[in-house]
Amino acid sequence: MEPRGEKSGEADGVRVTPQLLKARSGEFSLESILLLKLRGLGLVDLGCLGECLGLEWLDLSGNALTHLGPLASLRQLAVLNVADNRLTGLEPLAACENLQHLNAAGNLLAGPAQLQCLAGLRGLERLRLRDPLARLSNPLCASPCYWASVRELLPGLKVLDGERVSGRGSDFYQLCRDLDSSLRPGPGTSAPRPAEAQPWVEPSYWEAWPPRSSSILEEACRQFQDTLQECHDLDRRARDSLAQAERVLGPAGAAAASFVF
C-alpha cells in the first residue's frame, strides 16, 4: 500500500491534547511519559506533544500527519514510528539527538534531500523507508540508486529497510542482493512476471516491544550489584571458615582438638 493521498476522517482529524496524552499513558505529568502509542487515531496535529520531554519511545503510525514540528523538543527520543502518514519532510528530527530507530515507511519523501536532516544523528542505526509486508514505501525508494544514496548520506546506519548494511551479517544481505541482481532479465529479454508476494502475518506481528524505561533498568542493575556483593561476602566468609577448620584439624592443632566431636 503506497502513501495515501486521502485519509478518512481527515476533515475532522484529531489534535493531540494534554487530556489525550494522559488518558493514553496513564501519567499525570506530561514530562513523566516515557512510552506512548498513538497509532491510528486520525491525528492531523501533534499539538502539545513537544511537552513530553522525557519521551523515549513513540508510535505515531497510521495517522494523517503532514509535519512533525513539536518533536524537535524531544531530545530523549530513541525510537520513533511515523509510518503510514503524509510527511514530505523530517526536518524537526534533526534536533532529536538520541534517535536510534526510525520507521518512516509509507510517506511522501521524494528524494535523498528529505533525509539530509538525519545526517547529524550519530546514534541513528536503524532506518525503514519501505516495508514490503505492509505494502508501504516512499517515492524516493523507486530510484535505482536509492540504496546507494541512502548509504552514502547516512554511513552510520547498520540496518536499512530490515536488512543489515554494516556489521556482523551484512555480507549475507549483500550476497542476496547480488544474487537477485544476477537473476533479473537483461535489456531486450522478457521473463514471466512472478506473482506478487502476499504478507502471511499482520503488519504489527513483528513489532518490537517498547524498550523498558531507563529508571527500571537502573533499578535492576542496582539490585544485581547488591546481590553480587552478597555473593562476594558469603564467599569470603566461607573461605575464612575453611581456613579456620584447616588450622584446627591440621597436625599442629590435632592434639589440642582431638577431644572435640
Instruction: Compute the half-sphere exposure of residue 87: CA atoms within 13 Å on the CB side of its CA.
Output: 34
Lowest mean pLDDT among 48-62, 155-169, 186-200: 186-200
Enumerate the H helices of the chain as residue ranges.
Answer: 18-25, 146-153, 170-183, 214-249, 251-257
Mean of pLDDT values over 144-172? 83
- pLDDT value at residue 178: 55
pTM of the model: 0.63
Q: Phi/psi at 92 (nearest 5 deg)?
A: -60, -20
Q: Which cell numbers in the block locate residue 165?
A: 548494511
Q: What CATH class does 14-179 carry?
A: alpha beta
pLDDT band at 170 (very low <50, low <70, confident <90, very high): very low
Task: State whether the Cα torsion 48-50-56-60 is positive or negative.
Answer: positive
Q: Which cell numbers in the block locate residue 9?
A: 476522517
Residue 75 clears pLDDT 50, i.e. is over it: yes
Q: Which cell numbers in the block locate residue 164?
A: 543489515
Q: Which cell numbers in the block locate residue 225?
A: 550489584
